[in-house]
Structure 1
Amino acid sequence: MSFGWSKPYEPTSALGKWFDERLPVPRLVHGSLGGGYEVPRNINYFYNFGVLAGLALVIQIVTGVVLAMHYAANTEVAFSSVEHIMRDVNYGWLMRYMHANGASFFFIVVYVHMWRGLYYGSYKAPRELVWMLGVVIFLLMMATAFMGYVLPWGQMSFWGATVITNLFSAIPVVGDAIVTFLLGGFAVDNATLNRFFSLHFLLPFIIAGVVMLKIWSLHIPGSNNPTGVEVKGPADTIPFHPYFTAKDLFGVGVYLTIFSIFLFFMPNFLGHPDNYIEANALATPEHIVPEWYFWPFYAILRAFTFDFILEAKLWGVVAMVSAIVLLFFLPWLDSSPVKSMRYRPKARMWTYVLLADILILSWCGGAVAEQPYIIISQIAAIYYFAHFLIILPLVSRTETPLPLPASISEAVLKGDASTGAPAGITDTGRNAAPTAQPAE
């Protein structure tokens, strides 16, 4: 978001002026990411995760294109082609491990990014569309990751695809037709693998397009901040570059360090060992589970164990889809005029309960479908929906928020007296003098 006090872009060379008059890309970059883009001066390291998600997407696209050059989408040779990439292609092992672990790290940074949005109220007006586009990206990520999990054609790939696609058969009247359309036949086979490979290659570029829309929509109202107070003047902002580009680069360094540790020292830690066994339609694995980042939704899916008017499997599908679709309506379910949970003590407490609930769902989703995991997942699933549909609307209408600072600069320079920021989040430099130095 460019304010009236932002420094306008001025080309410094004759070539720069000539280019700017004909294709103003440098002006666009300056206004979007450079010194012409003003951001709240108090945003903290939790705001790095948007950039990290973009980096993770770039890693996935680049490594995916390289892997596609050597992968064969045929059930007879798909598993062998992955082994060929690992053993015979120059640095193929690196590309494959970067792609496999990159998917997990992509979901990690997106989940943290979503948590930050929930905690600081980034879904509230005037940023509802920014939040909704983020949920669209999340749905596209889930579809892309599911299809990518099938491509190695291991045991978990085959049986995971079989279980998940067969869930659509629970839809009345058209369910079987949908399953046949998705599979390209009556079972997971060569046609399925070809379809999933094509879509898995295409969807990341669609995600990139939606990311561009999200960035565009974000630049209209500007970035949110930990206080949730809107920008009121030049004292509330500083240029994105160089202050927050340096901060983002530090975050990128930390991210790549942790990513490299997994990549070089425990590349299979986040995967499933059964996927190193070639797919066999005659040998069902003892415990079929999706990738870890699907576990909360898988637990909700499995929480329905008996028929009630409709088939239990259909209730599970509806609940799993609803758990994500519900996020689209969050800006209207939470009617509190105060954005940040820092100033909403009751809502903050229930938000931490939601986080614990999601972790419990993840634990149950990765466990065997037996007691006590089933009853625990049922209770956790009930709370998940109750939080968004009952607790949050009631709390937002009844709680008394803490006093908000008059402006962002006041919170930074005088110290924010509120309590309850997430562990590890501090706004350093609050007592700094109002100079050009970044007070975060």
Structure 2
Amino acid sequence: MSFPWAQHYAPKHPVMQWLDQRLPVPRLVYNAVGAGYPVPRNLNYFWNFGVLAGAALGIQIITGIVLAMHYAANGAIAFDSVEQIMRDVNSGWLLRYAHANGASFFFIVVYIHIFRGLFYGSYKAPREMVWLLGVVIFLLMMATAFMGYVLPWGQMSFWGAQVITGFFSAIPVVGDPIRIWLLGGFAPDNAALNRFFSLHYLLPFVIAGVIILHIWALHIPGSNNPTGVDVKGPQDTVPFHPYYTAKDGFGLGVFLTLFALVLFFAPNALGHPDNYIPANPLSTPAHIVPEWYFLPFYAILKAFTFNFLWIPAKLWGVMAMFGSILLLFFLPWIDRSPVRSANYRPKYKWFFWMLVVDVLVLGYLGQAEPTVLVVLGSQVCAAYYFAHFLIILPIISRIERPLPLPNSITESVLHGEKAEAAPFGTQTA
């Protein structure tokens, strides 16, 4: 981040000077999360969720490594190995519940992080690459979570793998070969378990690598802020440390408290009871549903119940499900409004909250029994989801008259009071 007023790392201790000259890790940390990284002074607690997502990923990697030492990726004993972890491995129940619920909390903070970006226009120039890398992380999370859900080899694990991979067969010509390649056969079995286990173990480290690129891309233009106004000078910023390390620390404490409450008092609340039944290829569950964080997209998939033109309904559903995520890649160019923050875009703010309600309703419909009303509701909500991005946003960005923006971040913070430029932090290692 090229702020001329940023404090540069200047080690005083001879050992730190020697290390900095040969391996500048202290300088890197100082400039990334220390006093050498200036950030807008008006960030609210919605900016905590990036750090919380990193903490959630750390929980998943640490618990996942230990669980992998005891898990057996074999269809005959996979379910029993999970039960053995729960009963016989020291603190195995804690590790397994932390890993399972950690995935849910990871998605909770990432969904809030995404909607914060949508509300405050964090996808707009010059932060398009930050947003695009964030969508890549989201896709990698979804792939990792799906493969992890298969590993316990319960009824929902087996039939979830059967149904989700079956969607690829809707693709003409190449669909069936892709499905067989994914599963290593014609149905989920040992080959599928081994493949999914290997990829589930690998992908979190890939996610960690993309997160590094995500943060690197963020440090070039700097953080967005609730006003969406660019930083004008040192009076608009404060050092990341100690101001935002303290704020992130408080948010992390709240996050871990909520996580502990679920972990110790309701560890199965976010899971499905059928997954405590061993996988049985001869017994189909009455109602197959994915994990809760996939439900909005599952509702979009189920919304297509009839063939249209020469394309069958199943293929329409698969294209719509993947398209609903891929659409986010084009958002920086769909929304052409020069104003970032919804605080100054009254029409956009109204439709933003309509989108939030729409996604929540889709989540509910995704787990509901497919009655006539549920299917109709899914169709209406899916249509609105695509209309929001493809029709409403382009129109609003052209016709909306934004509210007057503040002249600077400092003006918005002090409500017009005269602000004196405060000297930047002088901390050194």
TM-score, reference length from structure 2? 0.97
1:398 aligns with 2:389: no
1:357-411 Cα deviation digits (max 9, x unpaired): 0011001001112221100000000000000000010001101000000010110
Alignment of 1:13-28 (within 5 A): 13-28=13-28
CA distance in 1, matches of 2:188, 2:368: 25
Equivalenced residues, count: 424
Alignment of 1:5-404 (within 5 A): 5-308=5-308, 309-404=310-405
CA distance in 2, matches of 1:10, 1:408: 29
CA distance in 1, matches of 2:117, 2:48: 12
Given that 1:412 and 1:431 are in contact with CA atoms closer than 8 Å, whether structure 2 keeps it comes out as no
Quote how far apart the aligned CAs of 1:434 are. Answer: 6.5
1:312-348 Cα deviation digits (max 9, x unpaired): 1000000000000000000010000000000000011
Secondary structure, counterpart of 1:71 in structure 2 = coil
Q: CA RMSD in A?
A: 1.4
- Structure 2 residue runs without a partner (length 5+): none
Secondary structure, counterpart of 2:39 in structure 1 = strand
Quote how far apart the aligned CAs of 1:12 are. Answer: 1.8
Higher relative contact order structure (alpha carbons within 8 Å, sequence separation ≥ 6):
2
Given that 1:347 and 1:395 are in contact with CA atoms closer than 8 Å, whether structure 2 keeps it comes out as yes
Letter of the 1:411 partner, please give it. Answer: S
Secondary structure, counterpart of 1:259 in structure 2 = helix
CA distance in 1, matches of 2:368, 2:185: 31
Letter of the 2:373 partner, please give it. Answer: P
Given that 1:227 and 1:340 are in contact with CA atoms closer than 8 Å, whether structure 2 keeps it comes out as yes
Given that 2:235 and 2:419 are in contact with CA atoms closer than 8 Å, whether structure 1 keeps it comes out as no
CA distance in 2, matches of 1:134, 1:147: 20
CA distance in 1, matches of 2:224, 2:242: 19
TM-score, reference length from structure 1? 0.95
Distance 1:38 1:219, change over 3 A: same
Given that 1:107 and 1:293 are in contact with CA atoms closer than 8 Å, whether structure 2 keeps it comes out as yes
- Structure 1 residue runs without a partner (length 5+): 416-429
Secondary structure, counterpart of 1:39 in structure 2 = strand
1:408 aligns with 2:409: yes
Q: Which runs of 4+ in 1 moved over 6 A?
A: 430-434
Secondary structure, counterpart of 2:35 in structure 1 = coil
Given that 1:2 and 1:38 are in contact with CA atoms closer than 8 Å, whether structure 2 keeps it comes out as no
CA distance in 1, matches of 2:187, 2:418: 64
CA distance in 1, matches of 2:406, 2:249: 30
Distance 1:247 1:437, change over 3 A: farther
Given that 2:6 and 2:424 are in contact with CA atoms closer than 8 Å, whether structure 1 keeps it comes out as no
Letter of the 1:95 partner, please give it. Answer: L
CA distance in 1, matches of 2:313, 2:152: 31
Secondary structure, counterpart of 1:372 in structure 2 = helix
